[in-house]
Structure 1
């Protein structure tokens, strides 16, 4: 297997040659993975919505069709998508690039200089990386997907991570989950294994439950137990402005709903959402906190921007037998508006379904 320095030189020469010849990207898709297990069929409850609100949708996430999104939202039977395991053989990892004798794969835009490639690297016969492309870009995918991939291999001695974004809530969850994410930007191995736990199935649900239990063992003071909380989007999130936020906030507070914000004092934030009976939030990464925070039988209410409708939340909730609902906003010049009456109506529908008992 080539050295990191030699891989760096070859990759940068190839980049310059491709740029000079106006060729497409040097990076190729990953090969076909091995599934963690043979998938089966799973039954689940559909999520809640108001059909007349669908006319407000102008675009769905990932440019998927509204029909596709609503099938996922309302399905009562779905096929598991087990964790994908990619066995790439001999490889060098340079920052966010994986280099094998056959191909180059991009994990993230994180470049390593030649001097760093010359220095010492992690060198082990076999290395496992729990990072996904999505988890290296979005906090929600790291919390909801990469943490479960890590959990599947947590006792493996050569479990490593490329360098990640320094999200402010990340360190707290690592400690609560008892996960030691060893980061390294230069690695070399005879057998590189990449993990992708982006789908959902029985074993991922088991890992979710393990992490939920660890979080509760870590947090003794559960100030939100049995309450309703609204999680605002954090400071680092892409802005999705609710144009009538002051009106909505006042109606929520009048109902006794607590409003909390991530990306600050994470310990206090988690105390203020853990074992909530219902979480309300705008569609986005911060919604992933609900995977671990809601008590058993609780519910998640997603406020959907009409130009960014996404139904991934139902995949998280149905796998844990939690409830899910959505309210779709109306497009405004500077964002979108949310009808407080529609929110409170959906709150009542979800509360009627939730089981008021604490998670174990």
Structure 2
């Protein structure tokens, strides 16, 4: 089917008609949580760790990471909802006039075989983002909490998203049925949320989902600690070459070793529930720890030297948890973790 919305947008750009930012078309803007200034705790790491960092993740920058490492105060921007009228949705993009905004996964095509007949939706609330559509960790920490924001009777919609193997299981644990995913629609009144900040409003929703999960799982004796395998199918390769040696050491401390690629969400949550510490290589699989980690618990992240990133420090700061990291030693085909450093960091985080 021809993507009329994209064709119209391209003509508008050619003729330089109208703004290119979709938010300029908003007729209403409401603040859901004002901007906030908060303090943060410093990350814990062993001596010499910073010297091993070769490169950051392409999604991160040095100023952001240093603020998280040092625990400097931060200003969280306000959380807002914008109401935009007469928006066209086609695949993974929203259009109006010369504006085009990506909200999911997929290319914008002039001829798209996947487009269904266009439907008209009087009013809807978009409760997903392209980051959550593309990365499991962002789906867990951004998209699912966003679904709690609209009024109970509001129509929630989501954009095309990767088929996460654990989505259905976590939705059952959180009592969050999947919203519809229209691929082609004209929306008369669309609510768009700007919900990037790890503020008190986000904290309240994290806590709500943590409460729902515990209500559905019941009382379970907590593990001494959990190690999350990254597996081989998630995103960019981050090969911990001595993973088996790390696992052997952690097992002597009573840790449970979880392989999310071979387990359902319910099984993962039952083992990880209220563990005081979770250890894992940096990556989206740490999303499994957000809602199961004990209150006041700790994350110990094994950082690849060539892809250093601290997104989960933002989450632990928000929830009042502790965060530590070690940086691997570069090696052919991946990196190696220093087990003595892991032992030292577990003692410091206890």
State how far apart, in whole Å, the 1-side matches of 2:116 and 2:317 are.
48
**Alignment match of 1:145 (pick from 135, 142, 146):** 142
1:204 is aligned to 202
Is the 1:280–1:300 contact (alpha carbons within 8 Å) kept by the matching residues of 2? yes
Query: Quick one: distance in 1 between partners of 2:22 and 2:114?
Result: 26
| Kept in 2: contact 1:46–1:74 (CA 8 A) | yes
TM-score after normalising by structure 2: 0.87
Question: Which residue in 1 is equivalent to 2:252?
Answer: 254
Instruction: Count residues in correspondence.
Output: 337
User: 1:257, CA displacement in angstroms?
Assistant: 1.5
1:141-169 alpha-carbon deviations (Å, 9 max, x no partner): 01101111111115142211123211011
- Give the Cα separation in 2 of the matches to 1:209 and 1:193: 24
Q: Secondary structure at the match of 2:226?
A: strand
Where does residue 132 of structure 1 map in the other structure?
Answer: 129
Give the equivalent residue in structure 1 for 2:230: 233
SS of the counterpart of 2:83? strand
Indicate conservation of the 8 Å contact 2:32/2:78, yes or no. Answer: yes
Query: Residue 177 of structure 1 aligns with which residue?
Result: 174
Contact 1:228 1:257 in 2 (8 A): yes
Contact 1:91 1:100 survives alignment (8 Å): yes
The answer on 1:11 being equivalent to 2:13 is no
Deviation at 1:128, TM superposition (A): 0.9
Counterpart in the other structure of 2:79: 83
Whether 1:342 and 2:325 are equivalent positions in the alignment is: no
SS of residue in 2 equivalent to 1:272: helix
> Aligned pair 1:31/2:23, yes or no?
yes
Asked if the contact 1:82–1:200 (Cα under 8 Å) also holds between the matched residues in 2, the reply is no
SS at match of 2:134: coil
- Structure 1 residue 289 and structure 2 residue 292: aligned? no
- Of residues 43, 48, 71, the one that matches 1:47 is 43
Pick aligned residue for 2:97 from 94, 98, 101: 101
On the 8 A contact 1:232/1:281 being kept in 2, the answer is yes
1:247 shift after superposition: 1.8
- Partner SS for 1:142: helix
Return closer, same or farther for 1:286/1:154 CA change in 2, 3 Å cut-off: farther
Q: How much has 1:75 moved relative to structure 2?
A: 1.8
Q: CA 1:14/1:149 → structure 2, altered by over 3 Å: closer, same or farther?
A: closer
Query: Which deviates more from structure 2 when the two are superposed, residues 8-17 or residues 171-180?
Result: 8-17
**CA 1:53–1:164: 2 relative to 1, 3 Å:** same
**Structure 2: where are the runs of 5+ without partners?**
none
Moved more, 311-320 or 9-18: 9-18
How far is 1:266 from its partner?
A: 2.0
Work out whether residues 146 and 196 of structure 1, in 8 Å CA contact, stay in contact via their aligned partners in 2: no
Which shows bigger deviation, 306-315 or 98-107?
98-107
Q: Deviations over 1:205-245 (max 9, x none)?
A: 0010000000001112535x152000111443032101122
How much is the aligned-residue C-alpha RMSD, in angstroms? 2.7
Aligned partner of residue 135 in structure 1, secondary structure: helix
| 8 Å CA contact 1:131, 1:162 repeated in 2 | yes
TM-score, normalising length: structure 1: 0.85
Distance 1:13 1:100, change over 3 A: closer
Cα 1:12–1:67 change in 2 (3 A) is closer
What's 2:305 paired with? 306
Contact 1:317 1:323 in 2 (8 A): yes
- Structure 2 equivalent of residue 72 of structure 1: 68
Q: For residue 83 of structure 1, report the CA deviation from its aligned partner.
A: 3.0
2:153 pairs with 1:161: no
Aligned to 1:62: 58
Counterpart-to-counterpart distance in 2, 1:136 and 1:222: 32
